[in-house]
Amino acid sequence: MNFFNNKQVAALPNHLKQYVVEQHYEHYTPVDHAIWRYVMRQNYSYLKDVAYYPYIPGLKKAGLTIEKIPSLQEMNDALGQIGWGAVTVDGFIPPAAFMEFQAYKVLVIAADIRQIDHIEYTPAPDIIHESAGHAPIIGEPRYADYLSYFGYIGSKAMYSHKDFELYEAIRHLSILKEMPDADPAEIAKAEKDLEFKQQNLGAPSEMALLSRLHWWTVEYGLIGTIDEPKIYGAGLLSSIGESASCMKPDVQKLWYAKDTINYSYDITKPQPQLFVTADFENLIAVLEDFANTMSFRVGGTYGLMKAIECRNTCTAVYSSGLQVTGTFTDVILNEKDEAIYLKTTGPSALSYNDTQLEGHHKEYHADGFSSPIGKLKDTEMSLEDFHINDLKNIGVEIGEPAYLEFESGIVVEGVLKSVIQEDQKLVLLSFTNCKVYDAKSGKVYFEPLWGIYDMAVGSKIVSVFCGAADKDAFEPVAMVSDNKTYQVNYDNKTIRLHELYRIVRKVREKQADVALLPSVWDSLKTEHTNDWLCAMEILEIFDHTGLHPEIAEDIRLFLKNKASSDPKLTKLINDGFSLIANPVIDLVH
């Protein structure tokens, strides 16, 4: 993997590196670069007045230019100066992974670029949205802090199995909508599937609620006052359609607060309301308020029950610091609904400080793990705070039979085989010939014939979060979707159109003679009558040079007729005329 000489990218753990794909810069066509240039010029023309931060300086800090699609090396050279990095991925990735990239201060950028038919807005992530939307504001320190902190919080969020099904439905629909020859019936089916999954999620998970906060801030956030807000959200900054329409009175503006989590969103449609924050400090305050309700901070019975609901790999952290990773299937509660015993099923592992304990990998605990939670009966001190001499005082010595009875009534009875301490805390006691049972009911949890019993030490569960503690050890293969983004195979006619765009670019960059353009225009109006952007670029050159006024008028009339006959092109073409009349100069380089 190419680290682009960027410390943040190089520091990514292996389980995240698996999402990274090559940019393949050479695959971008001249049409792709023209789409980028058109959108960026429109962005600057409009956003210089409504964006929260100075747009051009923001582009420069992110290594971007108005004229061409950025390379990852250029972006990493610039972002590395402010402690960030960037990688390319294949479309949507799971929310938990996306958040974790943010926590590592690495921007995730979709390698693809939108088709010209979706030039105003695309439901799929693309390089315009990710780089031109997210990257320029990274240079604002308060916002950058919020983004990385959000990533850390999001990487701990609990999600449900239905969340991943919804993610796959969103990814599938976004891929279909960017396919130029997608079957309308297949799109309609995917839309219905997405709608069904959205309506049948049940109670939203922590990840679903956090995704709402992310959407209404990072993607669609406004800052300032209700009456005169400015745009900072990447979804708005990268949509030349919605960045203008969002300021209209029919889009309700509400103050951003914790109850924003009650507002769901639809990625395929313009948003009916947006949320305004007075400053970035408020974003962190709302996030912190919500984080205090999450399992990774609440722990206990609440967290363990959320882990069981998740049906995926989760980690429970004992007060000793021991981390139990696995699929949680059961928790025993006392009369006060306090967790006194936990159980995982299937491959499980034990870690400390996010590092797997030697010998306690998922192959060793292949059938699951179970252990009591709580204090020993008739002892004031928690077991994790015992020293070896303290154990001897209660008759617990290595190689000798031991009897441990917990306040809950659970008994662990066997021969102590070994003790693991970390940072002067007992974290694990292992027993041979061990029986674990409930002294009150007689229920047995472990039999001597089952082998060695590893007992976690800790008076309570202080944290529960999604995913493994030591991800690289536990999850060598990331949950990467099998549904890949569509890669276009161009026919000969389209390849000839690409060459026409290439000639226009070379003329504009003074690498080719302007005398080539009349023949380019002849080819466009005879072979490529559906295209409008290349004609607009030729008109721009003729208008600014004063050359070939008759041809320029012919092109202008052609574009006006297109604008009046095709409502989808009316705004795009009229905005193109406006850009010609009010040229945008690339001040980045």
Say which DSSP state 378 is in. Answer: T
Mind giving me the DSSP string for 394-414? TT--TTSEEEEEBTTSEEEEE
Q: Residue 399 CB: number of other CB atoms within 10 A?
A: 10
Mind giving me the DSSP string for 472-537? HHH-SS----S-PPP-----HHHHHHHHHHHHHHHHHTTSS-GGGHHHHHHHHHHH-TT--HHHHH
Question: CA nearest 173: which of 206, 215, 125, 207?
Answer: 125
Report strand pairing: 425-438 vs 444-446: antiparallel
Question: CA nearest 17: which of 74, 78, 89, 76?
Answer: 89
Q: How many CA atoms lie within 13 A of 261 on its CB side?
A: 18
Residues contacting residue 80 through CB under 8 Å, at least 6 positions apart: 4, 5, 6, 7, 8
Give the full edge-to-edge strand order of the sheet including 106-110. 20-21, 85-89, 106-110
Q: CA angle at residue 201 from 199 to 203, to 5 degrees?
A: 115
Whether the Cβ atoms of residue 478 and residue 15 lie closer than 8 Å to each other:
yes
391: three-class secondary structure by DSSP = helix
Whether the Cβ atoms of residue 91 and residue 174 lie closer than 8 Å to each other:
yes
Whether the Cβ atoms of residue 72 and residue 111 lie closer than 8 Å to each other:
no
Q: How many CA atoms lie within 13 A of 48 on its CB side?
A: 10
* Separation CA 575–CA 550 (nearest Å): 22
Question: CA nearest 70: which of 147, 19, 136, 140?
Answer: 136
List C-alpha distances in Å: 267 to 36, 191, 264: 21, 12, 10
Report strand pairing: 453-456 vs 425-438: antiparallel
* Separation CA 432–CA 450 (nearest Å): 9
Instruction: Tell whether residue 219 is among the known ligand binding residues.
Output: yes
Residues contacting residue 141 through CB under 8 Å, at least 6 positions apart: none
Q: Residue 201 CB: number of other CB atoms within 10 A?
A: 15
* Separation CA 526–CA 520 (nearest Å): 10
Residues contacting residue 61 through CB under 8 Å, at least 6 positions apart: 78, 79, 81, 82, 136, 138, 139
Instruction: Tell whether residue 242 is among the known ligand binding residues.
Output: no
Whether the Cβ atoms of residue 330 and residue 342 lie closer than 8 Å to each other:
yes
> What's the Rg (C-alpha) of the chain?
29
312: three-class secondary structure by DSSP = coil
Phi and psi dihedrals of 340, rounded to 5?
Answer: -120, -10
Instruction: Tell whether residue 129 is among the known ligand binding residues.
Output: yes
Whether the Cβ atoms of residue 542 and residue 552 lie closer than 8 Å to each other:
yes
Residue stretches of the annotated binding site for Fe cation: 129, 134, 219
Residue ranges for the binding site? 129, 134, 219
